[in-house]
Every structure is written in structure tokens, then in C-alpha cells.
Structure 1
Amino acid sequence: MIGKLTGVVDSVASDAAIIDVNGVGYIVHASSKTLGRLGSRGTAASLLIDTHVREDAISLYGFAETVERDWFRALLNIQGVGAKVALSILSVMAPDELARAIAAQDKAAVARANGVGPKLAQRVVSEMKDKAGGIGLGAALVGGDVAVAAAVETADGPLNDAVSALVNLGYRRTEAYSAVAKVMQKQGANVGLNELIVHGLKELAQ
């Protein structure tokens, strides 16, 4: 099994690149974000590889960072998400953006990916929150502060009410969730609903 390729870029297409390793060209499928980080022909390149072996094909999927590869593997555990769809999701959302969308249960953000309808997007945000762990996802919203993330997770009622209020005012769910989480980080998890909304609006206005 191939776990990493280091060579030079031979060519880059819309969904894959050919990496030349000592004269052998490997076709590596990747997200548009990873492909965008590759240089022009002849540029040195090193990608982490997830190798998929089937009876009729061996497919290589490349990642510039370990975290992207880990999210790719986790997405494949969701029913209806194959490698192509997983890369499509990672093409429109960096790993930290995906973590925020899942923590906020923002299915609309996930549905921006090609091949992802509303039902699949809902399944992704619901099942991935359970798989990834709520505390870890919450920490992604509050600068990695696990203690604050734990407080955020136990404040589901007022947090969700404040997020819903901000969404009704026209803000996207992910950015609303992030703003409210930051207010709790600054003022504590016991802050009232009105304060969450008011200070959440201030966070969004910055």
C-alpha cells in the first residue's frame, strides 16, 4: 500500500494530478484545495496517500495535510459518501470549516459541495458530530479551548436559541454558532439568552 508520494508535478487537472516519482507517473485524485497548492510542472511535491484497492482498479487519493486525510477517511464512513463526494466536500470546505459546520449542524454549508443533496448533507452533519465527538468540534470554534468547549456543549438550550435568532436575522448558521460560542468563551457559559444575541451580533459585526 502506498502511504506517501514524493516527486515532481507532471500535470494538474480539475480533479487529479500526475506526480512523477523517479520516472513513474502516479495519478493522484485530490480536493481542489490540495491541487491548488501544487506548483507548476517540474515543481517538487509530496502528498500523503490513501490507497483504495478494488478488483478492477487501484485508486490513489492525495492530501497535503494529515488532518485533511483524516476527515476524508471519516467522511467515507457515512452512508452515501464515496471518495468522489468526500473530495467534493473537502474542495469547498477546509477541515476547520467542515468542523465548524458540523458543530453548528449547518447542513446548508455542506450541501454546497457537488453531489451532496439536502438529505445527504443532513446525514453528514448529524453522523459526523457523533463520530468526531462534540467536545472536539466545539473546541474548533473556540480556539482549541476544550474547557470552554465543554461549557458550550452543556449550554445547548440557550446556545441553540441564540443561534436560531441570529439565523432568522439573515446570518449563516455556522457563523452564528461561532459568534455565540465566542461570547460564551468571553463571558462564561451562564450568560443569558439576550446577552448571547446582543454580543453575538457584535461579534458578527467585527
Structure 2
Amino acid sequence: MIGRLKGTVVSVSDDTAIIDVGGVGYEIFAAARVLQGLPLGEDVTLSIETLVREDLIRLVGFPTESERGAFRILQTVQGVGAKHALGILQVLTPTDLYDAIAAEDLTAVCRAHGVGKKLAQRIVTELQSKVGALAGATGEVLTLAARRKVADDASTDQTASARADAVSALSHLGYDGIDARRAVARASEGLDSPGVEVLIKAALKELAA
């Protein structure tokens, strides 16, 4: 299995790119935003997920291991294949995806092409137990041990709950869900177990700025 490629970008199309590695051209599938960021004629390094089916072998490229991990975890949901997973990662970074799952923000997940409300609900429901609210926007999948540690930390749980409530309140005020989560995340930095009202006020200042 190929897990990583470093080579020169030879060509880029709507769905794929050709990466030359030591004279061998590898066809890489990727989300459109990833392909659009590949510089022709320059060297790039991509994390690779090798998909093996009965009728094909396909290489899917990602700019980071975090995105590769998100791609994998999305496909553990019933009904989510590689196409759906790439579509979701086209509109949501891993951090935004995990925050949307934690906040049960179906609207954010539904932004992906081909993902309806029913599938978005399944993604959120099934992945609630697999990813935690991210502190510091690391974009990394939390391990089981890390999630247990978070669950055992009452203070952390209270803060995560307050953040979710603040995001919900801002969304009801008409703010975009992703923008609201980012504002709340920035507002909570340096605050010691802030309450919902404090977070909302601080987040509104962030949004105004």
C-alpha cells in the first residue's frame, strides 16, 4: 500500500493529478480544493490513501495526515463512500468537520454535494462516539484513550457544553455555523471555564472584528 508520495506535479484535471515520482507518473484523485492548490511543475508531498476494490486500485491524495484520517473515519459510517467523504472534505476541514459533529450541525455537513439531511444525521450520530470536541483546532482524530480522559474531566466537559450552547445561540441569531464555532473557539482561549453568556459576548466581539 502507498501511504505517501513526494514528486513533481505534471498535470491537474478536474478530478485527478499526475505526480511524477522518479519517472513514474501516479494518478492521484483528490478533492477539488486540493487539486486547485497543486503547483504545476513543482514538487509536492501528499498523504495517500490506497483504495482497493475488486475492479480498481485508486490513490487518493491529501495535503495532511489529518485529512487522510478524516477521510478514513467518514467511511466508517454506513452509506458513506469515498465520493461522499471527498465531497465533505471539499467543504469542511477536519477541524470544522469534528466541530460540526460535536455541535450536531447538520447544515454544515449538508453543504457537501450529494449529502442530504438523512445522511448528514447518520454521520453526526455515528461519529459522535468516535471524535471529540477539538481544543485548539488541531484537526487530529482523538484516540480512545484521549476521549476517555476528556470524558473524565468534568471541567473540560462543562467547557465543551458551554461552547456548543454558545455556537447554537449564535447560529439562531443568523451567524454561519462554521464562523460561529471559530469565533467561540477564539473567544474561549484564555478563559477559565467560561459560562455560555460570557462566551456569547466574547464571540460576538470576535465576529464584529
Q: TM-score, normalised by structure 2?
A: 0.79
* Contact 2:102–2:132 (Cα < 8 Å) also in 1: no
Structure 2 distance, partners of 1:49, 1:157, is 35
Question: How does 1:105-116 map onto structure 2 within 5 Å?
Answer: 105-116=104-115
Structure 2: which 5+ residue stretches go unaligned? 139-145
Structure 2 distance, partners of 1:23, 1:190, is 56
Aligned match of 1:166: 170
CA apart distance, 1:95: 2.1
> Secondary structure, in 3 states, of the residue corresponding to 2:9?
strand
How many residue pairs end up in the alignment? 198
Cα gap change, 1:24 to 1:172, in 2 (>3 Å): same
Aligned with residue 157 of structure 2, among 153, 156, 171? 153
* Contact 2:50–2:60 (Cα < 8 Å) also in 1: yes
> Secondary structure, in 3 states, of the residue corresponding to 1:165?
helix
Q: Which has the higher helix share?
A: 1
Matched, 1:201 2:198: no
Cα gap change, 1:125 to 1:175, in 2 (>3 Å): farther
Matched residue type, 1:166: L
> Secondary structure, in 3 states, of the residue corresponding to 2:130?
helix
> Secondary structure, in 3 states, of the residue corresponding to 1:203?
helix
> Secondary structure, in 3 states, of the residue corresponding to 1:170?
coil
Structure 1: which 5+ residue stretches go unaligned? none
Question: How does 1:1-206 map onto structure 2 within 5 Å?
Answer: 1-40=1-40, 42-134=41-133, 137-140=134-137, 151-155=155-159, 159-189=163-193, 191=195, 193-206=196-209
> Deviation per CA, 1:113-158, whole angstroms, max 9, x where unpaired?
1111112122223322321234xx24438xxxx9999535325665
Q: TM-score, normalised by structure 1?
A: 0.80
CA apart distance, 1:108: 1.0
Cα gap change, 1:158 to 1:12, in 2 (>3 Å): closer
Structure 2 distance, partners of 1:82, 1:155, is 34
Structure 1 distance, partners of 2:168, 2:82, is 33
Q: After superposing the two structures, state which structure 1 stretch, 120-129 or 108-117, moved more.
A: 120-129
CA apart distance, 1:90: 1.1
Identity %: 48
Cα gap change, 1:157 to 1:33, in 2 (>3 Å): closer
Structure 2 distance, partners of 1:23, 1:157, is 53
Structure 1 distance, partners of 2:163, 2:42, is 47
Structure 2 distance, partners of 1:116, 1:152, is 32
CA apart distance, 1:97: 2.4
RMSD value, Cα? 2.9
